[in-house]
């Protein structure tokens, strides 16, 4: 009988970022009060699921999103660099002005790679690697991987056979959302999506590429 394994990709919750920066991989960015409420809500939504392992990006916002789930399941958070945010040369810049500065134009020549950051194919490679490792670890059960918007969206595009370059405003990967890959044996059978903390998402945070 074929075993069913579910890999849940959980995006972190809202981050305290009053300056409106693209924080990327910068340290020191923690969940806001609302973000912590999101993490609690997700943990409650996943309560009772057959989750046997929990992995997280090393960045603070991901670790803090994983914490309530670790507490409710009794699982240890296993930190894995493969789940980290994508590298981006605009890191640390104000989101509203980074595309208007003439000095940044040299980074915008190839949106398909993309020329401003970590190649999409590289993101796919590392995300596929951790998903496969986690799937083998949790075979016949469920596992949660806490990551970031771009890595989650890119591996979903790859899994669904869609092109990797895209409009960031059209990503279906809201704060504290869950993208679920269901495997029958080693075959990806379906991709699902839910927003357990959707009621807490503020309009200005919808589809923000951070």
Whether the per-residue pLDDT at 88 is higher than 50: the answer is yes
On whether residue 49 sits in a domain, the answer given is: yes
Whether the per-residue pLDDT at 131 is higher than 90: the answer is yes
On whether residue 210 sits in a domain, the answer given is: no
On whether residue 14 sits in a domain, the answer given is: yes
Residue 172 belongs to what domain range? 4-205
Put simply, whether the predicted model's pTM sits higher than 0.85 gets the answer yes
Residues 6+ apart with CB under 8 A from 30: 15, 16, 60, 61, 64
Rounded Cα distance, 48 and 6, in Å: 14
* Chain length of the chain: 210
pLDDT tens for each residue of 1-13:
789 999 999 999 9
Q: Is 109 left (phi over 0), alpha (psi -120 to 50) or beta?
A: alpha
pLDDT tens for each residue of 177-190:
999 999 999 999 99
Task: Name the domain count of the chain.
Answer: 1
Cα-Cα end-to-end distance for the chain:
41
Rounded Cα distance, 17 and 163, in Å: 31
Q: Where are the beta strands (DSSP E) in 20-141?
A: 51-56, 77-79
CATH code assigned at 74: 3.40.50.1240
């Amino acid at each position: 009988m074929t075993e069913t394994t579910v890999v849940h990709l959980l995006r972190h919750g809202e981050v305290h970022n009053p300056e409106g920066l693209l924080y990327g991989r910068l340290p020191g960015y923690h969940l806001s009060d609302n973000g912590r409420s999101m993490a609690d809500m997700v943990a409650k939504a996943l309560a009772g699921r057959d989750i046997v392992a929990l992995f997280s990006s090393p960045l603070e916002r991901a670790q803090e999103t994983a914490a309530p789930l670790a507490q409710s399941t009794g699982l240890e958070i296993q930190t894995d660099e493969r789940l980290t945010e994508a590298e981006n040369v605009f890191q640390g810049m104000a989101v509203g002005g980074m595309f208007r500065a003439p000095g940044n134009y040299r980074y915008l020549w190839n949106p398909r790679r993309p020329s401003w950051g970590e190649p999409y194919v590289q993101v796919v490679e590392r995300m596929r690697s951790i998903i496969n490792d986690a799937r083998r670890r949790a075979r016949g059960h469920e596992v949660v991987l806490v990551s970031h918007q771009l890595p989650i969206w890119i591996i979903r595009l790859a899994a669904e056979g869609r092109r990797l370059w895209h409009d960031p405003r059209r990503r279906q990967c809201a704060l504290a959302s869950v993208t679920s890959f269901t495997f029958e044996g080693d075959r990806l059978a379906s991709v699902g999506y839910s927003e357990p903390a959707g009621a807490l998402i503020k309009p200005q945070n919808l589809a923000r590429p951070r």
